[in-house]
Amino acid sequence: MIKIINIELYKIFKKWRTYIGFIAIAVLIPVIQIAMLVEGEKSINFMTRNLQQSFVFVGNLLNAYLVSYIILNALAVHIPFLVALVTGDLLAGEATAGTYRLLITRPVSRMKLVTSKFFAGIIYTTLLVLWLSILSLGLGTLIFGAGELIVVKPTTVIIFARNDVLWRFLLAYGFAVLSMSVVASLAFLFSSLVENAIGPIITTMAVIIVFLIVSAIEINIFQAIRPYLFTSYMLSWRLFFDDPVDVSEILKSVAVLFGHIVLFYGLAACIFKRKDILT
């Protein structure tokens, strides 16, 4: 199994499109960091303007943690595209290249094959989030230095002590891997249905964008269906930046996301097992 996963990973990293995600993150994050270096102080002043009527702020709030937190917020819209770009191609790419028959006639069960491809996709997703975290926190620390993290929510402000932040980020990035794995699984499912990689990528993004918009609009009917949309749980990494951390809500989100991964993978495996490769 590990050997097949290695082969699938080799195939993934042999393709140019795999590096688009890493390059995009390598460009995007320094751009955001430079923008924050120039304008970040103004943003902080705007967000904390009513606090500054009563308080004098001493110290550095514009630091690697704040910038990384802002970048992580972009995860919902931007990173899924980079994930789907590769995972949407895992099965459909074989169909496009006409290598399905060659692959499936090898002495490896279809189940092993589809599972290996799935795990290779999850490893790619994990590496992408890991790359994001290294650039956000690592490069951010070099540019801004570390410090206290201010989390401004619509009705509350939380300031975390410097030594109380890193573990939250580690768990939040771990949660982000889980969230993005749902996206990878969805793209993988769509990939098993079609023979062209563009379809799964666009469909995955369409589903995520529609779900996010439905979640964001404050109309009663949309609010009622929000708990049933997996996108509602994808941003639950923010719960790690609450005080106290709502563990039960996090576990619920983990269970929902993990359930979706199993469901999407299961469906993809079923479809792939029954796939007619003779016609």
Q: Which residues bind another protein (CB under 8 A)?
A: 47, 50-51, 53-61, 70, 73, 147-148, 150, 152-162, 164, 212, 215-216, 226, 232, 235, 238, 243
Distance in Å, CB of 255 to another protein, minimum: 18
Q: Which is nearer to another protein, 158 or 198 (CB)?
A: 158
Distance in Å, CB of 72 to another protein, minimum: 9
Q: Which is nearer to another protein, 98 or 244 (CB)?
A: 244
Give how far the C-alpha of residue 226 lies from the chain's centroid of Cα atoms, to the nearest Å: 19
Q: Which is nearer to another protein, 54 or 279 (CB)?
A: 54
Q: What angle is formed at CA 129 by the lines to CA 63 and CA 194, rounded to 5 degrees?
A: 145
| Phi, psi (degrees; rounded to nearest 5) at 101 | -60, -45
Q: Which amino acid is at 234?
A: M
Q: Which is nearer to another protein, 64 or 122 (CB)?
A: 64
* C-alpha closest to that of 21 among 83, 65, 108, 70: 83
Distance in Å, CB of 13 to another protein, minimum: 32
Q: Which amino acid is at 228?
A: Y
Distance in Å, CB of 244 to another protein, minimum: 10
**Is residue 150 within a helix (H) or strand (E), and if so which, with residue range?**
strand 149-152
Q: Give every CB contact of residue 187 below 8 A, 6+ residues apart in sequence.
A: 83, 84, 87, 88, 121, 200, 201, 204
Distance in Å, CB of 216 to another protein, minimum: 5
Q: Which is nearer to another protein, 183 or 235 (CB)?
A: 235
Distance in Å, CB of 57 to another protein, minimum: 6
Q: Which amino acid is at 260?
A: H
Q: Which is nearer to another protein, 47 or 170 (CB)?
A: 47
d(CA 118, CA 239): 28
d(CA 265, CA 191): 11
d(CA 175, CA 3): 27
